[in-house]
């Protein structure tokens, strides 16, 4: 974060870092310019709270001034220790830099600096930027940053200050996020609007390879060669309350409870005059008609939403759909051409693996449609079309409401394809949409299981491992349930296609091992239902403790369930929207009972901007 304006920079920056901490929490640091040639820096490994304790120790009045910057780190180069924390300074201590991303040619730059006699104080790639700026600085900070950026390879956001220009902050952006907040007599820089939403909702999107200089009166944007650039202003359409816990113990629980609203907002406005409308997308109906194959690329939870979508899109459009991990996609030379539609799903719109997959697809002339929750992020900017999930800010590091919103958005894409290609009659498309529209109420109903599931979570908190089983759309739900438990409770968890169990994993079953089974509806897919009951019998016979998520009123399942969690009856393809809810709550509660920070699991960060 960067700030210059009429308030004490330290307060503004610390408040901003509090709101950005979900993006990285290995260490934190601040720098403030006093306007009289002084630059004070404090940094501390660990959570922001450690930095605040350090500031109390040294006295906050040692960092006074109206210009400053701050950083929370997710470590890439160098362990999360004090000296690797940002901001970094040049050897004279007059320049301060914070950096996100990875400078890929840093070894060469570092060697060059060392050959010049510069002693580096940290193990990071980021520190090189401070020394490089010092080497070329000639009274114009923006010009110096531009020169340095032209030499840097990789992905980066840099924020830089110099004591000789105390009323300015200069920042640069390549493939890593950076937005400007425009206030009254103050200007902000941050990775995410959450950092300044308390002060202003007027924001400016920066593009690829751009440099911005902020002063209290405004901002100026150029490219890396100094050519002026017209940046795009936008209004943030949510307010501070959306980024606060609102009486909940942790953000994740609040976000789980916001799922009905997230779904409703994602669907709103997408059906008019009897047709699915994807108004934010720039693909013509003819483009959709020409599609002969769909790839869905994404990571983690977003990937699981894509796995769910595969079932629906294939069923509705009769197009082959492949869902692939973005980090694998471009390295295996996938078969892509003009008639391939690549759907890139990303909550943040910044995930480096997904961004690179998008770039690869576009190089191969495929059309790319992004599904994204962050206005103006890099992935939608580089895609042919975008469909936003309007889930609001998601602060808990584990994705919840955006998972459900991604499924809904994927379904809109599937229905739009079916409509354009004529594989569904208009009344069928309308019926599917109406069923989707009924989902916020169904998810609200599913939230009625929260107390029961929290109690179960406490009971299971000492387990060594938990397995998750599902079939058809229940399979990706099982994978997602296992991912949530791994990332939050640090517990061994695996999701399996229930039919696959007998081909190996059944050997894992032992007495009292908890196994969560996501049941299909007995009415929707009777054959799947009976097969899954047989799979449960097989594990029960081997001593498993079964936790069964089943449709309300499904009595046949009762003898198979040591714990039965009932969710409302909904059409088969929509079941993931209700059956995921108890799995999210289960993971959060097990994590809480084990004493872990539900919102900030270890080793993770909300947005993964490195490959
Ligand atoms: C898990 C989780 C991650 C993300 C993944 C992709 O709870 O949050 O697995 O889903 O890192 O992130 P986005 O959607 O921002 O591309």
Domain annotation covers residue 602 = no
pLDDT digits (tens, 9 = 90+) for 394-442: 999 999 999 999 999 999 999 999 999 999 999 999 999 999 999 999 9
Residues 311, 416, single domain; the answer is yes
Q: Is the CB of 610 under 6 A from ligand 1?
A: no
Check: CB of residue 374 under 8 Å from CB of residue 391: no
Select from 22, 300, 355 the residue to mutate for testing ligand 1; criterion: most ligand atoms less than 8 Å from CB. 300
Instruction: Please give the pLDDT value at position 191.
Output: 93
* Higher pLDDT pick, 187 / 330: 187
Instruction: Please give the pLDDT value at position 281.
Output: 64
Residues 123, 237, single domain; the answer is yes
Domain end, chosen from 211, 243, 275, is at 243
Residue 99 pLDDT level (bands cut at 50, 70, 90):
very high
Q: Is the CB of 211 under 6 A from ligand 1?
A: no
Check: CB of residue 495 under 8 Å from CB of residue 444: no
Q: Is the CB of 213 under 6 A from ligand 1?
A: no
Residues 62, 155, single domain; the answer is yes
Domain annotation covers residue 609 = no
Residues 461, 314, single domain; the answer is no
Residues 298, 388, single domain; the answer is yes
Instruction: Please give the pLDDT value at position 376.
Output: 79
Domain annotation covers residue 281 = yes
Nearest to 359 by CA among 139, 155, 597: 155
pLDDT digits (tens, 9 = 90+) for 296-345: 999 999 999 999 999 999 999 999 999 999 999 988 899 999 999 999 99
What is the average pLDDT across 19-42?
A: 93
Domain end, chosen from 405, 437, 469, is at 437
Looking at the annotation, which residues are catalytic? 606
Residues 143, 287, single domain; the answer is no
Q: What does R_g of the chain's alpha carbons equal in angstroms?
A: 25
Percent of the chain with pLDDT over 70: 100
Per-residue pLDDT at 128 exceeds 90: yes
Residues 209, 105, single domain; the answer is yes
Check: CB of residue 587 under 8 Å from CB of residue 480: no
Domain annotation covers residue 610 = no
Residues 170, 270, single domain; the answer is no
- From the DSSP assignment, how many helices (H) and strands (E) are in the chain? 19, 26
pLDDT digits (tens, 9 = 90+) for 506-561: 999 999 999 999 999 998 778 899 999 999 999 999 999 999 999 999 999 999 99
Instruction: Please give the pLDDT value at position 175.
Output: 83
Q: Is the CB of 351 under 6 A from ligand 1?
A: yes
Q: Ligand 1, closest atom to CA 606?
A: 8
What is the average pLDDT across 87-91?
A: 98
> What global pTM score does this model have?
0.87
Select from 399, 407, 480 the residue to mutate for testing ligand 1; criterion: most ligand atoms less than 8 Å from CB. 399
Per-residue pLDDT at 201 exceeds 90: yes
pLDDT digits (tens, 9 = 90+) for 452-502: 999 999 999 999 999 999 999 999 999 999 999 999 999 999 999 999 998
Beta bridge partners of residue 249, listed in sequence order = none
Per-residue pLDDT at 348 exceeds 80: yes
Please give the residue range of the domain that contains residue 65. Answer: 2-243
Domain end, chosen from 243, 278, 295, is at 243
Domain annotation covers residue 331 = yes
The CATH number for 471's domain is 3.40.50.10490
- Burial tier of 434 (Cβ tally within 10 Å: 0-12, 13-18, 19+): exposed
Phi, psi of 525, rounded to the nearest 5 degrees: -130, 80
Residues 229, 138, single domain; the answer is yes
DSSP 228: B
Domain annotation covers residue 410 = yes
DSSP SS3 for 532: helix
Q: Ligand 1, closest atom to CA 302?
A: 10
Residues in the chain, how many? 611
Q: Is the CB of 347 under 6 A from ligand 1?
A: yes
Instruction: Please give the pLDDT value at position 525.
Output: 78
Residues 335, 433, single domain; the answer is yes
Q: Is the CB of 348 under 6 A from ligand 1?
A: yes
Domain annotation covers residue 66 = yes
Domain annotation covers residue 443 = no
Q: How far is the centre of ligand 1, averaged over its atoms, from the C-alpha of 57 (Å)? A: 37
Residues 427, 515, single domain; the answer is no
The CATH number for 169's domain is 3.60.20.10
Compute CA distances 63 → 38, 60, 195, 412, whole Å.
Answer: 9, 6, 20, 51
Instruction: Please give the pLDDT value at position 542.
Output: 93
Q: Is the CB of 521 under 6 A from ligand 1?
A: no
pLDDT digits (tens, 9 = 90+) for 108-119: 999 999 999 999
User: Which residue, by CA, sits nearest to atom 11 of ligand 1?
Assistant: 300
**Number of domains comprising the chain:** 3
Instruction: Please give the pLDDT value at position 279.
Output: 66
Q: How far is the centre of ligand 1, averaged over its atoms, from the C-alpha of 142 (Å)? A: 34
Long-range (24+ apart) CB contacts under 8 A made by 88-92 are: 88/121, 88/122, 88/124, 88/126, 88/127, 88/129, 88/130, 89/31, 89/39, 89/41, 89/121, 89/130, 90/130, 90/131, 90/133, 90/134, 91/118, 91/119, 91/131, 91/134, 92/134
Residues 473, 404, single domain; the answer is no
What mean pLDDT is reported for the chain? 95
pLDDT digits (tens, 9 = 90+) for 270-302: 999 999 988 666 788 889 999 999 999 999 999
């Amino acid at each position: 974060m960067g700030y210059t304006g009429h308030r004490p920079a330290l307060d503004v920056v610390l408040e901003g870092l509090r709101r950005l901490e979900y993006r990285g929490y290995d260490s934190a640091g601040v720098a403030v310019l006093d306007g009289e040639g002084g630059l004070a820096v404090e940094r501390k490994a660990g959570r922001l709270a450690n930095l605040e304790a350090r500031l109390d120790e040294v006295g906050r009045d040692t960092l006074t001034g109206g210009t400053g910057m701050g950083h929370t780190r997710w470590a890439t180069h160098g362990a999360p220790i004090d000296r690797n924390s940002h901001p970094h300074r040049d050897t004279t201590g007059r320049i301060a830099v914070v950096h996100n991303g990875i400078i890929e040619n840093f070894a060469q730059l570092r060697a060059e600096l060392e050959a010049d006699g510069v002693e580096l104080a940290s193990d990071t790639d980021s520190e090189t930027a401070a020394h490089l700026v010092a080497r070329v600085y000639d009274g114009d900070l923006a010009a110096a940053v531009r020169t340095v950026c032209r030499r840097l390879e990789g992905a980066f956001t840099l924020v830089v200050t110099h004591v000789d220009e105390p009323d300015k902050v200069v920042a640069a952006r390549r493939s890593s996020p950076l937005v400007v907040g425009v206030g009254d007599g103050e200007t902000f820089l941050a990775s995410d609007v959450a950092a300044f939403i308390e002060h202003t909702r007027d924001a400016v999107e920066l593009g690829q390879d751009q440099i911005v200089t902020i002063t209290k009166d405004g901002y100026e944007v150029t490219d890396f060669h100094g050519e002026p650039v017209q940046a795009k202003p936008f209004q943030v359409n949510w307010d501070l309350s959306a980024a606060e816990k609102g009486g909940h113990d942790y953000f994740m629980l609040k976000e789980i409870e916001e799922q009905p609203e997230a779904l409703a907002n994602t669907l709103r406005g997408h059906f008019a005059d009897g047709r699915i409308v994807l108004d934010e997308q720039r693909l013509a109906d003819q483009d959709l008609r020409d599609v002969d194959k769909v790839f869905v690329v994404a990571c983690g939870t977003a990937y699981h939403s894509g796995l769910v979508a595969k079932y629906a899109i294939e069923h509705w459009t009769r197009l082959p759909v492949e869902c692939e991990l973005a980090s694998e996609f471009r390295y295996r030379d996938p078969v892509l051409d003009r008639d391939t539609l690549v759907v890139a799903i990303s909550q943040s719109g910044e995930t480096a693996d997904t961004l690179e997959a998008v770039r690869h697809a576009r190089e191969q002339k495929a059309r790319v449609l992004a599904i994204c929750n962050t206005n103006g992020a890099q992935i939608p900017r580089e895609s042919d079309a975008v469909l936003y999930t309007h889930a609001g800010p998601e602060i808990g590091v584990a994705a919840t409401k955006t998972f459900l919103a991604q499924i809904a958005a994927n379904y809109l894409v599937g229905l739009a394809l079916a409509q354009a290609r004529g594989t569904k009659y208009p009344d069928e498309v309308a019926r599917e949409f109406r069923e989707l529209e009924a989902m916020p109420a169904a998810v609200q109903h599913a939230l009625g299981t929260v107390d029961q599931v929290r109690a179960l979570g406490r009971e299971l908190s000492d387990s060594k491992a938990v397995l998750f089983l599902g079939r058809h759309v229940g399979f990706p739900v099982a994978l997602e349930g296992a991912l949530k438990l791994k990332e939050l409770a640090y517990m061994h968890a695996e999701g399996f296609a229930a039919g696959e169990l007998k081909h190996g994993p059944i050997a894992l079953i032992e007495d009292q091992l908890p196994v969560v089974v996501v049941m299909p509806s007995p009415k929707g897919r009777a054959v799947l239902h009976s097969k899954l009951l047989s799979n449960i019998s097989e594990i029960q016979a081997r001593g498993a403790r079964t936790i069964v998520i089943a449709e309300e009123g499904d009595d046949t399942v009762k003898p198979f369930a040591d714990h039965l969690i009932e969710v409302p009856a909904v059409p088969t393809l929509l079941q993931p929207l209700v059956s995921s809810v108890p799995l999210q709550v289960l993971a959060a509660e097990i994590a809480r009972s084990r004493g872990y920070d539900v919102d900030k699991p270890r080793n993770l960060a909300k947005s993964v901007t490195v490959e």
